[in-house]
Amino acid sequence: MSTYDKPLPELTEDNRPFWDGLRERSTLTMQKCDACGHIRYPIGRICPECLAPGGTWTGLSGRGEVLSRIVFHQVYNKAFADDVPYNVVLVQLDEGPRMFSNVVGVPNEDVRVGMRVRLHCDPVTAEVTIPRFVPEEP
Amino acid sequence: MSSLKAESLKDRAAIVGVGKTPQGKVPGSTQLSLATGAFTAALEDSGLDKSEIDGLLTFPGTTAPEGPLNYLRVAETLGIDPAYTGSMSMGGGTAGALVQMAAMAVANGMATNVACVFGDAAKTGGSRFNRASGWGDSWGIWGMMGAAANSAIAASRHMALYGTTSEQLGEVAVACRRHASLNPDAVMRKPITIEDHQASRWIVEPLHLLDCCLISDGGVCVIVTSAERARARDLKQPPVFISGMGQAYTSRTLERPDWWYVPHQKDALDRAYAMAGVGPSDIDVAQLYDNFTISVLLWLEHAGFCGVGEAGPYVEGGRIQLGGDLPVNTAGGNLSESYMEGWLHIVEGVRQLRGDGGERQVDGAEVCLVTGRGMTLNCSNAMILSKDGLK
C-alpha cells in the first residue's frame, strides 16, 4: 500500500468525515443541510441551495445509477499506465447527489448508462478508502 | 428583467481589426511573443495607430508565467497606458467574454478602441491540459483527467439517450477538416473521411483522436471600437458589427443533473438572439466552439437549428459543410485550423462578413453566429456578428 502512486485526496477538517465514513464504516457519507434538507456534493461549508452553514454528515445507501460512462485509453498520468483501458462513470446517487467514480469487477463493455450500481470500498492506503462501484445485481 | 437594457447594446460596437500569428508549432515562441505578435498584426489590419488603443483585455492562456497579471506584462511590452484593462481566464469561454466586455466598454465610453489579446505557447511551452478535473485535481483519484473527459461524458450520455453515433461525430470532424483544406493558414489540411475518423485511436471512449482539437502555439487579437467610430468609415477595413451578445455560466458541475448537456449554452444563445432580434433561420454561417466534436452537436441543438437529441442526424450528408444548409467552422475550427481556444472563430466570423473568405467564402454571408465555451463545460457565450448592423 505504501507504493500507491496515484492521486490521493488531501485530507482536511472539511472533508475528513467523508473519508472516515468510507474507511471506518464502508459508508458513503455526505452533508445534509439542517435547514432545507439538500444533500450536497462536492463537500462545502455552506449549502449551495439555501446558504445555511454546516449541516449533518449523513450516511447514504451507496446505491445509484450510471448517468454516463467513458473509457480512458490515453494515459494522462503515468500511474494509470497499467490500468488503461479503465472506465470512469458519472453516478446518480439515489439520495440526490452525483459523483464521479469507477465501476469495478466487470469488463468495461459491460458498464452501461442506466445500470444500477452499489458502493464498493477500495482501501488504497491506511488513511484513504476510495469509493468505487460494482453492479447492484452481479 | 435585464433584457431591455441589454438590447440597448445591439450594434453599439464593431470589430475593426483582427490579427493572428503563425499557428501550430512555433519554435522559440512564448505566450508574450505570440500575444504581442497578434496585436501588431491586428493593429496593421485595422489601420489604427497604437496611440489610439486605449483599452487592453487579455487572456493569459495556459503558459503565461504571470497568470492573471498578464495584462500588465502585455501592456508593458507594447508600451500602452490603457484607460481600461484586465485579464480573464475562462478557457475557451474567454475570447467571447473579453470581446463582449470590450463592446460594453466602448458602448459606454470607458474606452474607444479596445484590443482583446490572446497568446499561448501550449505546443512548445508545455500546456496544462492534462491535469485532473475538479477543484484541486480532486477527480484524479478515479483517473478522471485530461481535457477530453468531460466532453466524453457528454457524448456518452447523448449517445445513450438519443442514439447519436460515433459516425455522426465524425461528420463534424470531416466538415472541419474539409474547410481547413481550403484555409492556407490551417494546421491540419489533409482531408479525412468517416473511415479515417473511425480508424483513429481511442482517446477517451467514445471519443477518437479525430474527435479532439489540436494543441497549438499561436496568438490572436481582436480590436473592438465604438459603432460611432466604425460608422465614420475612415478605417482600413469594413466594420463588422456586434449585433447580439449573451453569456451564461454554471459552476454547479456535479450539483446540476443536466450539467453534461451544458444547458446554460442555450441561455447564452437566447440572450444573444434576443439582443440582435434574430433567430436560427437568420444565421448564414456559424463558428461553433469545437474543443471536441460533440460540442458542435450540442451547440446546434441549443441554437435551435434542430431539436434536442437531433443533432446527430442533422449533421449527416454534409449539412454543416460549405454548400450545406449551415456552414459551420468555415476555417477549420479548433479541430483542424488551430486550437486557439475559440479566438480564431471570431476572426473567421469577421473574415466571412468582410467577404475575405477566399475559397471558403459563404456567398452573401451577412449574419454570423460565433460561440465559445470553456472550463469544465462551465462558461459559455454567443455573439451575433453582422455586416451592416441589424435593423
Q: What is the tens place of the pLDDT at every residue in A103-120? A: 999 999 999 999 999 999
Selection from B192, B212, B193, B194 nearest residue B202 by Cα: B212
Packing angle of the helix pair B264-276, B293-302 (nearest 10 deg): 50
| Residue A101 clears pLDDT 70, i.e. is over it | yes
pLDDT of residue A126: 94
Q: Which helix (H) or strand (E) holds A130?
A: strand A129-135
CA B376 to chain A, closest CA, distance in angstroms equals 14
- The model's pLDDT over B29-68, given as tens digits with 9 standing for 90+, comes to 999 999 999 999 999 999 999 999 999 999 998 889 999 9
Selection from B117, B119, B19, B23 nearest residue B64 by Cα: B119
Contact B138 A70 (CB under 8 A): no
- The model's pLDDT over B235-291, given as tens digits with 9 standing for 90+, comes to 999 999 999 999 999 988 899 999 999 999 999 999 999 999 999 999 999 999 999
| Residue B137 clears pLDDT 70, i.e. is over it | no
Nearest by CB to residue B144, choosing from A41, A69, A100, is A100
The model's confidence at residue A3, banded by pLDDT at 50, 70 and 90, is confident
B55: in domain: yes
Contact B142 A9 (CB under 8 A): no
| Residue B379 clears pLDDT 90, i.e. is over it | yes
| Residue B131 clears pLDDT 90, i.e. is over it | no
For A16-124, list the strands marked E by DSSP. Answer: 29-32, 39-40, 56-59, 63-72, 86-93, 98-101, 116-123
B298: in domain: yes
Asked if B95 and B383 count as a contact pair (C-beta separation under 8 A), the reply is no
B160: in domain: no
Q: What is the mean pLDDT of residues B184-197?
A: 97
The model's confidence at residue A138, banded by pLDDT at 50, 70 and 90, is low
B285: in domain: yes
Asked if B42 and B25 count as a contact pair (C-beta separation under 8 A), the reply is no
B142: in domain: no
| Residue A1 clears pLDDT 50, i.e. is over it | no
Q: What is the CATH number of the domain that holds B257?
A: 3.40.47.10
Q: What's the structural domain count of chain B?
A: 1
- The model's pLDDT over A6-65, given as tens digits with 9 standing for 90+, comes to 999 989 999 999 999 999 999 999 999 999 999 999 999 999 999 999 999 999 999 999
Spatial neighbors of B160 by CB under 8 A, at least 6 apart, are A68, A112, A113, A114
% of chain B exceeding 90 in pLDDT:
88
- Contacts of residue A85 in chain B, CB cutoff 8 Å? 202, 205
B268: in domain: yes
> What does the H/E/C string look like for chain B?
CCHHHHHCCCCCEEEEEEEECCCECCCCCCHHHHHHHHHHHHHHHHCCCHHHCCEEEEECCCCCCCHHHHHHHHHHHHCCCCCEEEECCCHHHHHHHHHHHHHHHHHCCCCCEEEEEEEEECCCCCCCCCCECCHHHHHHHHCCECCHHHHHHHHHHHHHHHCCCHHHHHHHHHHHHHHHHCCCCCCCCCCCCHHHHHHCCEEEECEEHHHECCCCEEEEEEEEEEHHHHHCCCCCCCCEEEEEEEEEECCCCCCCCCHHHCCHHHHHHHHHHHHHCCCHHHCCEEECCCCEHHHHHHHHHHCCCCCCCCHHHHCHHHCCCCCCCCCECCCCHHHHCCCCCCHHHHHHHHHHHHCCCHHHCCCCCCEEEEEEEECCCCEEEEEEEECCCCC
Contact A48 B252 (CB under 8 A): yes
Q: Which residues of B are catalytic?
A: 289, 339
- Contacts of residue B203 in chain A, CB cutoff 8 Å? 73-74
| Residue A68 clears pLDDT 80, i.e. is over it | yes
Q: Identify the residue among A15, A22, A36, A100 best suited for mutation to test binding to B, counting B beta carbons within 10 A and taking the highest.
A: A100
- Contacts of residue B206 in chain A, CB cutoff 8 Å? 70
- The model's pLDDT over B307-365, given as tens digits with 9 standing for 90+, comes to 999 999 999 999 999 999 999 999 999 999 999 999 999 999 999 999 999 999 999 99
| Residue B1 clears pLDDT 60, i.e. is over it | no
Domain that holds residue B52: 3-126+214-386
- The model's pLDDT over B360-371, given as tens digits with 9 standing for 90+, comes to 999 999 999 999
